[in-house]
Structure 1
Amino acid sequence: MQEHELVEPSSSSESIPKRRVRPPSVVVETLGATTMETKDGRKINNYLLREEIGRGAFGTVHLGIDTDTDKSYAIKEFSKSRLRRKERSDMLRQSGPRGRGRGGIGLGVGRPGMGAGKPSNPLDLVRGEMAILKKLNHPHVVKLFEVLDDPNDDSLYMVFEMAQKGVLMKVDVDQVAKPYSNDEARRYFREMILGIEYLHNNDIVHRDIKPDNLLLSSGGMLKIVDFGVSEMFKGNDDKLKKSAGSPAFMAPELCIAHHGEISGKAADIWSMGITLYCLIYGRPPFRTSSLVDLLDMIRDDSIHYEKSTDPDLLDLFYKLLERDPSKRITMLEMRNHPWVTNRGKLPMITEEENCRALVTEITEEEMANAIKSVANIFTVMKAVTKFKRHSRSWSQHSLNKMMNEVKKQDEEAQNKEILGIEKGAMHLSINHPI
């Protein structure tokens, strides 16, 4: 185990919210969307794009307003040309032995689906992430509502729930953020545990856990976002070969050239430890503008803690930031740790309750059907209108039956006329409850 050093303050309190059960996921995929410039700004269908609220390697996040309902969303805009370049790059890398040693499904927005060849439509560029996000159903994982494509524009849009309070903490190399109190940090760390535990139980490693990827809703609930470098694994085999994520939060085993296979779960847990360190001290333990020096520090340098650090928290830090991944604390041990439970005063909900809505393995058919085409645009419009009048808890069978009824009515009324699919008909896919 690495050395840990004590140096020198930080404290407040907040209650832990009870878990709320979400309704089933409903995601709409829209081809043939229209982008326009209005006096109020750029608009994609019914979404008015306001100011930029975030930026990543492949997209920009805007505050979006649904002009029909006046509700706010976080709308991520991707460049289709950049996604295609990344897809080609990934396919070239995967033409040899896959880095993971088997054919899993990545969650990166630019990764190819289950087969080679050119995507049949632009939404295929993000269907891997869509197939996952449509199934995940947890209060601490961000919700995807709609994906839109304008065939006459380079942009593709993903509409997410809005986390009004923004990032959990803005971490800067040159500045120290205002730390959270022990009680506040405990609350958010417990929510992080629940979200990451749910992902791991669904065979997903996030790979980029950091305060920037933890947002807060208007009610102060933590939401895990950005699955751009996440990976799926199979069974208990969470071994990965590729390094990914933000360097300051990367596990030491990832900071070694040609490191071979590593445990994705253990790497996520190290990142959770660095994130908790930021919440308590306002900064990561290793800071430098040199990437090479940073990786050396993560591998070799001792970690400094303030002398006033709660002994239980200090013990948790030692176990989270254990450089040997085989000795690092597990999720089960973490959720029962004395600091996490406040010495038993705040027991966690059971793993079974937290993960009761487990997803099944993403199949080739599900990947192919992440986007379902409906021939007649009026069929879709009527089906959507009818669907909005009914409960979102309908079964897939009921929804399919409704779609078939509407299609049959339209075929009779319009003598089976099909409106220009090849020029961008609207598409709709409704995911059933897990």
Structure 2
Amino acid sequence: MGCVGSKEDAADVAKAPPRAEAGNGNGHVDAVKAQAAAAQPAPAAAPAPALLVEAPPPAPPAAQAAPAVPTPQPLYNGPDQGLPAPRQAPPPAPQGAAPPPHHGPPRRERSELKKRQGTEYEEDSDWDQCSTANFNVDEDAQAKDCEVPAVGASVMEKALHNSLFAQEKHVPGPDNVYKETTTLRIDKVKGCMFVNQYLVVRFLGRGACGKVFLCLNTYDLRLYAMKAVRKVDLESSQPPQQGAKKRNPMEDLKREIMIMKKMKHTNIVTLSEVIDDPAGSKLLLVMEYMEGGPVLTREALEKRERLPESLALQYFRDMIKALDYLHGNKVVHGDLKPENVLMAASGEVKLSDFGCSKVFATGNEYLERCNGTPAFLAPEMMKPNTRYRGRPTDVYALGACLYTLLFGRIPFSAPNLYKLFQVVQNEPVKYPPDVPITEELKDLLARMLTKNPRERIGMSELMRHPWLTMNNRFPLKPYRELREGESQEMHNGVMGGLTFAEANPKPDFLTGLANVSRHERVFQEGDIIMRQGDQGTYLLYVVSGTVDILVKWVTMPRRTNSAQVAQGQQGVPGAKPAAKPGAGVDEMMEDSDTMSPIVDEESRQHRVNLMRASQKAGEFVRSLQANAGTTRDLLIAQRGPGELVGEMALFSKSLLRTATVRCATKVVTRVITHEQLVEYVMANPLAKHQVREVILKKESEITMVEALVKLTNVQDVITASLEQAPQF
């Protein structure tokens, strides 16, 4: 979970090699958890379419009483001691962005998805053999009315609305209701693995206590991250009984689950479900998938990469809102650092990893144990035999995060942990002269990084600081002070009725990118201007006209994880090595044309639900095929004026095209070479992040198609298993 267990253990942590943990299942591997502050500081990715599956009918009453069995006791279960039920924040005011002027979007409604449960369990050793692959998807947890443009939006979104949901009054949105499931069923067929209602799509990463997988929930056809933890690893990692001060992984995980299942905030990663069969060897955590990964990774810091001040302000406001919510519910995070701040494709950031968190009765209790990552520990935590309060240490760590985002380095560094503790406690904060910042920002950093916790700025004052509020134009209101109808962003203290995001729209750097090239090319309707699998050496900016984006129906493209690429080089093409060709879950699993036997009504109903999901997926995939007008391709999107095509190839090591581009009309484009792109994004830091978000959203289209194709391909086997099943 990324914390130092005690001051006595700090030296051991400093010497240990870094290891990546898969934490919080956010579709990317968790941050490096043990971080010594050496001379090289090392702190340490459009909503996905959802297909509706009919709700399973209520289970029939049992004909006779079942034999008495002991009540299952999930591993993680226990009293939510000290953690009050959080007061739900009033829903924020809608932030309706005006659609592009040349689009005539149809309106799409959404409704909350019904609750469903997973069922039975069958342990399988092949689960442990899944490894090394990559995947990304666009995910948005907002269940609200939205506008879908006719051009430039995902064709998948429009097809979902027009065909799959034609009989529904509402399009389903994500189900944020937390569930606990004590039974687990695993099925394998045609290289696909089903874990309860989840189809395992890709392996994402490995940590000290488990693995993280990207999964498709067949009940709502949205992508989630599933963290699979081996219970024996947690239990065998427990320290000796005699006076050991090391962290207990089992207790850390219990605490993390306890906190995450109760904390519901738009800037905190959501825990959707915990699957724990008492008789099984795995504990599964299903979480919101954050496709953008950490806002700043270890690799990015090693290259001294940093964020522009305006972007850091946007991220910092999200971080402040989440931390204020935690503190308002008497929770101290305990391990704030850039690697635990994760980004969605929309650009929104959320806090994750609550393994070092603490819950208090009042929130002001004293702590003795030193938890956290060394480079982000507050000075008062470093003194021998110290007692400290948790909230001020969170403020200090958040200030250290902001410093790191702005300057691309941690506030203090030293060759070893002992010297780091001395430097943090005694030396003043220094600001690199090569990175100019405003006086307001310098004042904020100084007050957050104050040595004396009694003099350090508090959360209420922090939320009113001139830099954070842009001279009090956009103050944030503390969570505990909200009235009905208010949010931390929208309240009676906001002037003009606009949120921070609405009043400060992101500048469009794509137009500027088009201006770096004067080389125009004109294509006619039906022309193929890029082919999937070809090597890409340029991208095109669409000046006028519309193009179709096609992918192969049988052979879906293998892609480098955009969270890794974008974070590894913050938008510099070809920065991160791709995974091994063909590496993925499919090759690690036994191929089979049969499914596990249906043994009771519950397992039969589970299979029925899978069949319905595969049927819907098949209908949807075939509609994309019909739109493409060929038997081998799927039409997944259209691009129009002001958009890029071909940039995804330039951000992968292989430089291979991930899709075919066909002209739907006469198209005028500007040709931008690889060298021109690199030069432009290096000169315009914000352009890197805009291109990064564009790529994440486009990858979501291909990701979702690949998952749906996998589900479609097993429809015949699922149907056959039902036909052969006995009646109950």
TM range, normalised to the smaller chain? 0.5 to 0.7
1:137: how far off? 1.6
Distance 1:217 1:380, change over 3 A: farther
Q: Does 1:266 align with 2:392?
A: yes
**Structure 2: unaligned runs, 5 residues or longer:** 1-91, 95-141, 144-173, 486-599, 610-728
Question: Percent identity at matched positions?
Answer: 30
**Cross-structure match for 1:61:** 212
Q: Which residue of 2 aligns with 1:311?
A: 439
What is the aligned counterpart of 1:142 among 262, 269, 285? Answer: 269
**Cα separation, 2, equivalents of 1:174 and 1:218:** 21
Is the contact between residue 296 and residue 338 of structure 2 (CA under 8 Å) also seen in structure 1?
yes
Alignment of 1:21-420 (within 5 A): 25-35=176-186, 39-40=190-191, 42-85=193-236, 89=239, 110-111=250-251, 127-149=254-276, 153-172=280-299, 175-259=302-386, 261-288=387-414, 290-307=416-433, 308-352=436-480, 378=602
Larger gyration radius, structure 1 or structure 2: 2
The amino acid that maps onto 1:110 is M
- 3-state SS of the aligned residue for 1:75? strand
* Alpha-carbon separation, structure 2, partners of 1:71 and 1:58: 25
Q: CA deviation at 1:300?
A: 2.5
Counterpart AA for 1:169: L
Report the secondary structure of 2:431's partner residue: strand
Distance in 2 (alpha carbons) for counterparts of 1:38 and 1:288: 53
Q: Which stretch of structure 1 is more off in the superposition, 62-71 or 156-165? A: 62-71
User: Contact conserved, 2:181 with 2:276, CA < 8 A, in 1?
Assistant: yes
User: Quick one: structure 1 residues 43 and 254, their matched pair in 2 at CA, closer, same or farther if it must change by over 3 Å?
Assistant: farther
CA apart distance, 1:356? 7.7
Residue pair 2:365, 2:389 contacting (<8 A) in 1 also: yes
Partner Cα distance (1:84, 1:174) in 2 = 34
Instruction: From the superposition, tell whether residues 54 and 284 of structure 1 become closer, same or farther in structure 2 (CA, over 3 Å).
Output: farther
Counterpart secondary structure, 1:339 = helix
For residue 146 of structure 1, what is the amino acid of its counterpart? E
Count matched residues.
Answer: 323
TM-score (norm: length of structure 1): 0.65
Alpha-carbon offset, residue 223 of structure 1: 1.0
Q: Check conservation: 1:213, 1:225, Cα contact below 8 A.
A: yes
Instruction: State the TM-score, normalizing by the size of structure 2.
Output: 0.40
Deviations 1:98-153 (A, max 9, x none): 99xxxxxx9x86229xxxxxxxxxxxxx5543333222221111111111135665
For residue 380 of structure 1, report the CA deviation from its aligned partner: 13
Gaps of 5+ in 1: 1-17, 100-105, 113-125, 358-375, 386-434
Q: What CA RMSD, in Å, does the superposition of the two structures yield over aligned residues?
A: 3.5
Quote the Cα distance in structure 2 between the aligned partners of 1:183 and 1:225: 23
Compute the displacement of 1:172 (Å). 4.7
**Aligned with 1:64: secondary structure?**
strand
Name the SS for the 1:305 alignment partner.
coil
- In the TM superposition, residue 206 of structure 1 has moved relative to its aligned partner by 0.4
Stretch moving more, 222-231 or 345-354: 345-354
Q: Distance in 2 between matches of 1:32 and 1:351?
A: 37
Q: Distance in 2 between matches of 1:319 and 1:268?
A: 13
Give the SS at the match of 2:215.
Answer: strand
The 1:316/1:356 distance shift into structure 2, 3 A limit, reads farther
The offset of 1:83, in angstroms, is 2.2
